[in-house]
Amino acid sequence: MDATRRDFLKAGAATLSALGFDLQPAYAQARELKIARTTETRSTCPYCSVSCGVIIHTLGDKSKNVRPSVVHVEGDPDHPINRGSLCPKGVTLKQDIVNDRRLTQVLYRAPGSDRWEPRSWEFAIDRIARLFKQTRDARLREDCNALTAVGVIGGCTDSNENNYLLGKAFRAGLGVIPLEQQARI
């Protein structure tokens, strides 16, 4: 037997408190409900096509001086498909939103460079528009108004409205033919 002094001291101290009437901690509720006063927003899980309803709980009551952040995401019990349940991805959606790996600024990589450099949105939009116009002016196939030298892919986790805008702006407006998304693959 190799009981250490600390074991005895710990156990002894515990027993002493048992002899007294120091039971207060035992009554305390371990944790308050962390979503008791959060703001609830109905949303749809962005992963698979089941489209489970989720409730995003954010800090604060939407009053003007609060900066809401997501504290919890839980299934929407009213949603006819998931009735509150979620898979291991839906259950961890909070980490998809609040994540230290999220991109928070425009990053630019110059030709030949081996690093990202932070830039402003103005720089990015101006430069992208300029490059786009150069390519379009040089490569537009005027016989059928088609631009095949620029491609656009996206939208599998974007709203219908954004999918529609992709087609409207890039194809109907700018003439882009290679417009594709995840559905193909």
Partner 1 sequence: MKTLELKRVSATAAPAPGVREQATVSKYIDTTSCIGCKACEVACQEWNDLPAETTVQLGTYQTLPELTPNLWNLIRFNELDHDGALRWLMRKDQCMHCGDPGCLKACPAPGAIVQYMNGIVDFNQEACIGCGYCMTGCPFNIPKLNQKTQRVYKCTLCSDRVSVGLEPACIKACPTGCLQFGTKTQMLDLAGKRVAQLKGQGFEHAAVYDPPGVGGTGVVTVLAYGDQPELYALPKDPTIPLAVRIWKTPLKWLGSLAMTFGVVGTVLHYLRYGAKKAEE
Partner 2 sequence: MASLAATFGRGAMTNGWTDIRNADVILAMGGNPAENHPVGFRFVMEARREHGAQLVSVDPRFNRTSAVADHFTQIRAGSDTAFLAGLIHYALSHDRYQAEYVRLFTNATFLVKEGYGFNEGEGLFTGWDARKKAYDKSTWNYELDAQGFAKVDPAMEHPRSVFQLMKKFYSRYTPEMVARICGCKAEDFVKAAGIITSSYTPDRAGTILYALGWTHHSFSVQLIHAAAMLQLLLGNIGIAGGGLNALRGHANIQGGTDCGVGYHNLPGYIPIPKADHQTLRQFLDAVTPKALRPNSMNFWSNTPKFVVSQLKAYYGAAAVSGNEFAYRDHPRLPAGENWSWAYIFDHMHEGRMEGFFSFGMNPVSNGPNSRKVLGALARLKWLVVAENFEQETAAFWRADIIELIGKKPADIATEVFLLPAANFAEKDGTFTNSARWIQWKWKAVDPPGEAKPDEEIIARVFLKVRELYEKEGGKAPEPVKHLNWWYSNPARPSLEEVAREINGWSLKSGQQLAKFADLEADGSTLSGNWLYTGMYTEAGNLTQRRSTADPGGLGAFPQWAYNWPANRRIMYNRCSADGQGKPWDAARPVIRWNGEKWTGDVPDYKADSPPEAALGPFIMLPEGVARFFVPGQFAEGPFTEHYEPAESPVENALHPRQSANPAVHRFGTEWDKLGGAGEFPIVCTTYRLTEHFHYWTKNNPYNMQLQPEFFVEISEELAKEKGIAGGDRVRITSARGSIEGKAMVTKRIRPMQVGGRTVHQIGFPIHWGFLGRGKQLGSLANLVTPTVVDPNSFAPEYKGFLVKLEKVS
Out of partner 1, partner 2, none, what residue 63 binds, judged by CB under 5 to 8 A for its kind, is none
> Which residue in 36, 55, 35 sits closest to 44, CA to CA?
55
Distance CA 37, CA 113 (A): 49
**Does 17 engage in binding with partner 2 (CB under 8 A)?**
no
| Residue 36 and residue 57 in contact, taking contact as beta carbons nearer than 8 Å | no
Kindly tell me which of 20 and 80 has the beta carbon lying closer to partner 2: 80
Binding mask 66-105 for partner 2 (x = CB under 8 A): --xxx-------x-xxx--xxxxxx-xx-xxx-x-xxxxx
> Which residue in 87, 88, 81, 94 sits closest to 55, CA to CA?
94
Q: How many chain residues are in contact with partner 1, going by CB under 8 A? A: 45
Binding mask 74-113 for partner 1 (x = CB under 8 A): xx-x----x-xxxxx-xxx-x-------------------
| Residue 66 and residue 60 in contact, taking contact as beta carbons nearer than 8 Å | yes
CA distances from 30 to 17, 23, 25, 27, 38 (A): 20, 14, 9, 9, 19
Distance CA 167, CA 147 (A): 13
Kindly tell me which of 2 and 100 has the beta carbon lying closer to partner 1: 2
Binding mask 106-125 for partner 2 (x = CB under 8 A): xxxxxxxxx-x----x--xx
- Interface with partner 1 (CB under 8 A): 1-4, 6-8, 10-19, 22-23, 25-34, 36, 72-75, 77, 82, 84-88, 90-92, 94
